[in-house]
Structure 1
């Protein structure tokens, strides 16, 4: 039911955004007509626009964490782990294809036919999506959730703190649930075990929980969440590298012509990364996984931690390649030679970025989903999206710091608005060094 409301909320947000382009009262007066002045948007117009953005943000934020977990729920009855592992690959591939279509076809329609037609396309697409979802609703596997898993986690922290002074004894009893999928209490993060210890003779039987004692399952769920936080943090810097905008500025300074009449837009070079992900994921899932499984005896081809580690290594290589290419481009731009470097030199780093995301990004999703308990599958996508949001903030903060420090004393900043004057290559070398340190940190996290 929550998924139903979320997708309808997103549909409403997209529709409201479309209305800002077709209802005259919601659009500022045109500045295109000669002899007329441009009046700024009114507060009401701004309010309506921001409302549409807010509704879309809430709707998409609710759908994205739930959709991947909801899709995996449809496959659990098959009892085929390989099928679920493959699902994550294809989910990521389909999401990448949708981004590629949105950044090319939809943008072209908006540019060619205007905002009215351009915004109508996602409205129509969302309508079809909602219709298909609602028509298929009776066929879906719907896992019932009795209560929020987060309330149990908070309860564990509170009770563990309350019982912090007690000593655990070998003959202690613990509060197990009555569920079929009971788990064993582990010795890791042992202080949390104090939350589920049972020492009250008034509790008649295990699982009754009459005194508000958390279950062993709650304790182990919290332990799983705590254990993956260090590895989660190691993936943030990978997304910092993926979110760099400087390659677009480099492409603007380079020769982007394919023929005498066709020039690739600078912002479209990101498509090489999206195409790499789209091509690599099916190839990896259908060819590489069966091949690697023969040697690693791992159904996924590579262990998830190995897969994420390969992604971090590729991220280091990407930054090194980016630094070398930018050094060559900058030297040519500041030389007396009238040679404009071809923008095709940027393609290898975009391909490497695509492979980085395919290895590390999908590896993160699968790792979170496999480590978290069955009661918290949607949290896997939440953690993934939060890491991207944190990476965006860190990328902005890092560029501001580098720009401020390197521009002190009246010098030219590495990240000068004129990249021919600046040293973006030095910034790439800095990122490669930080990512190398991050890889060492990742190896330490894997041993925890």
Structure 2
């Protein structure tokens, strides 16, 4: 059994499996792992911005129908990594999961490329009238299969790349790990910028065949780069997943639901694992304490003190981990609306496509590239806050100064509301100008600069920088270290839920408003009322902000808001559950 000092020392180190001391692993493998996900991100993100144009112009889908398809695709991209993480941890292993995902992503992009290359793979469209025949079942099946394969492949790669790269490094060198994490996120950010600029530019100027061919080549390079270093990887075996442990608590609590909890709990009554520093569970969410209640020691425990059936008896640690996850769920849910706002990029592409996008008389920004300003805003604010604002404020105050986690999240949510108000006003002015002679010409240019869309992108970037990063810090500070893998996937789960919510909102608005005539989100943007749709989202944002205030007050103080408490939590993570 570990001593308390050993336990604290272990918790102070990064929660990563120690790489065996062999000739394998090390820094030489990291460029191949980073290149694998960087190329995959570049390829998949390069397809997203203009996809709504491809679906409406080449497949003849209605705007709302195309947007819903993109929302579902985005939801799948964000949910499959959670399934991938479970499979990688429990049975497949990270190496096989990444390799499997790389191959499927490549096949999915090949299928999508074939829809552009083969005229028979998509419905016939009149290039002059923009009227398309209805796609056949086979054509839609080919399109949906490409989306499905890309989503499954993304789940395989994104679920395991970060952890697999960390497996190649030694556990006792935190600076090396921090360097790897920095390069990991830097490579992803750089890939996103390349995707929304270069690949979108190719699609706009060289057509869909070349525009979809570039991601195919990038995905091929992604797969190749990963397998080139295969002999040198540290390939750790799969082990029991944390998701399984949480499921066991739920099942055991349900099975023991008729058992009464003792009024005076003692450590002999509850089952705790070897080396655990918790001997009795907390009083919060007490019904989950039944999962770790020993009913009959002779039947419930084996001769060596382990649970005879982990689906009937769980450790106190498992119960407390589930409690911590349940407690952060309300604040987690407040980020869904922010992700809904970020997901409106498809409508912004249509809007920007009807505006003057010229920077110089001979150069104009592709409509799908305006998302780069959001990425730039995120990077710029992080650099400004971390390198200028916070050090300067700390110097003036004479002590460390930083925004609290709840302040970050609240400011981000307000920025998301402001971004929708901004784009709603721009669309109102654009539409009022367009209906004066251009009502029946949705592709015609309205001579209003598309740069008026920058406030939406800048405010959206600030919202993401404040709230998304605030959420990540919140999850990591409030959840036990043993749940760091779940903390890393909560943002992806948030984006998954947001895609479904965005699809529901779009479908509802389209179904309700078109009963009175033209839909708010009509395929003819000049006849629709996208400004009303944006105002609706702005109103939902404000309701979400008030919901956040209520959740924040109910949650109480956060560990990450006080540095002293944060340090204490790193020494004893389980105590953080009772202190919050």
TM-score by length of 1: 0.81
- More contact order relative to length (CA 8 Å, sep ≥ 6): 2
Task: Report the equivalent of 1:164.
Answer: 257
| CA distance 1:443–1:44, shift in 2 (3 Å) | closer
Aligned counterparts of 1:261 and 1:117: Cα–Cα separation in 2? 26
Residue 391 (structure 1) aligned with residue 498 (structure 2): yes
Task: Report the equivalent of 1:209.
Answer: 307
Aligned counterparts of 1:333 and 1:375: Cα–Cα separation in 2? 56
Task: Report the equivalent of 2:413.
Answer: 312
Aligned counterparts of 1:87 and 1:439: Cα–Cα separation in 2? 35
CA contact (8 A) 2:100 2:156 kept: no
Task: Report the equivalent of 1:57.
Answer: 151
CA contact (8 A) 1:68 1:378 kept: no
Aligned length: 433
Instruction: Say which of 278, 282, 291 aligns to 1:186.
Output: 282
| CA distance 1:297–1:408, shift in 2 (3 Å) | farther
Aligned counterparts of 2:233 and 2:365: Cα–Cα separation in 1? 43
Task: Report the equivalent of 2:107.
Answer: 16
Task: Report the equivalent of 2:321.
Answer: 221
Per-residue Cα deviation, 1:218-268 (whole angstroms, up to 9, x for no partner): 001111221122122111111111111322222122211222222222222
Instruction: Say which of 427, 430, 451 aligns to 1:329.
Output: 430
Instruction: Say which of 533, 536, 551 aligns to 1:445.
Output: 551
Alpha-carbon distance, 1:214 to partner? 0.6
Higher mean C-alpha displacement, 64-73 vs 243-252: 64-73
| CA distance 1:424–1:285, shift in 2 (3 Å) | same
Aligned residue for 2:370, secondary structure, equals helix
Instruction: Say which of 126, 130, 142 aligns to 2:222.
Output: 126
Residue 97 (structure 1) aligned with residue 190 (structure 2): yes
Residue 377 (structure 1) aligned with residue 484 (structure 2): yes
Runs (5+) with no aligned partner, structure 2:
1-91, 125-133, 439-444, 556-580
CA contact (8 A) 1:88 1:365 kept: no
Runs (5+) with no aligned partner, structure 1:
33-39
Task: Report the equivalent of 1:405.
Answer: 512
Task: Report the equivalent of 2:469.
Answer: 362
Task: Report the equivalent of 1:35.
Answer: none
Per-residue Cα deviation, 1:375-401 (whole angstroms, up to 9, x for no partner): 443323433222212212221221222
Per-residue Cα deviation, 1:43-102 (whole angstroms, up to 9, x for no partner): 99998886665444323213323334556776964568xx86x98777555323212212
Aligned counterparts of 1:154 and 1:72: Cα–Cα separation in 2? 27
Task: Report the equivalent of 1:272.
Answer: 373
CA contact (8 A) 1:308 1:359 kept: yes
Task: Report the equivalent of 1:36.
Answer: none
Higher mean C-alpha displacement, 355-364 vs 312-321: 355-364
Correspondence list, 1:33-72, <5 A:
54-70=148-164
Aligned counterparts of 1:27 and 1:422: Cα–Cα separation in 2? 33
Task: Report the equivalent of 2:69.
Answer: none
| CA distance 1:46–1:90, shift in 2 (3 Å) | same
Higher mean C-alpha displacement, 338-347 vs 357-366: 338-347
Per-residue Cα deviation, 1:241-300 (whole angstroms, up to 9, x for no partner): 11113222221222112222222222221221122223333333333444456669778x
Alpha-carbon distance, 1:189 to partner? 0.9
Task: Report the equivalent of 1:282.
Answer: 383
Aligned residue for 1:317, secondary structure, equals helix
Aligned residue for 2:103, secondary structure, equals helix
Aligned counterparts of 1:118 and 1:236: Cα–Cα separation in 2? 32
CA contact (8 A) 1:240 1:395 kept: yes
TM-score by length of 2: 0.64
Instruction: Say which of 425, 428, 432 aligns to 2:538.
Output: 432
CA contact (8 A) 1:20 1:49 kept: yes
Instruction: Say which of 521, 529, 552 aligns to 1:415.
Output: 521
Higher mean C-alpha displacement, 53-62 vs 210-219: 53-62
Aligned counterparts of 1:277 and 1:325: Cα–Cα separation in 2? 22
Aligned residue for 2:198, secondary structure, equals helix
Aligned counterparts of 1:405 and 1:227: Cα–Cα separation in 2? 36
CA contact (8 A) 2:105 2:152 kept: no
Alpha-carbon distance, 1:339 to partner? 7.6
| CA distance 1:180–1:267, shift in 2 (3 Å) | same
Per-residue Cα deviation, 1:396-444 (whole angstroms, up to 9, x for no partner): 221222223233333x332233333332222222111111111111122
| CA distance 1:46–1:101, shift in 2 (3 Å) | same
Aligned counterparts of 2:528 and 2:466: Cα–Cα separation in 1? 32
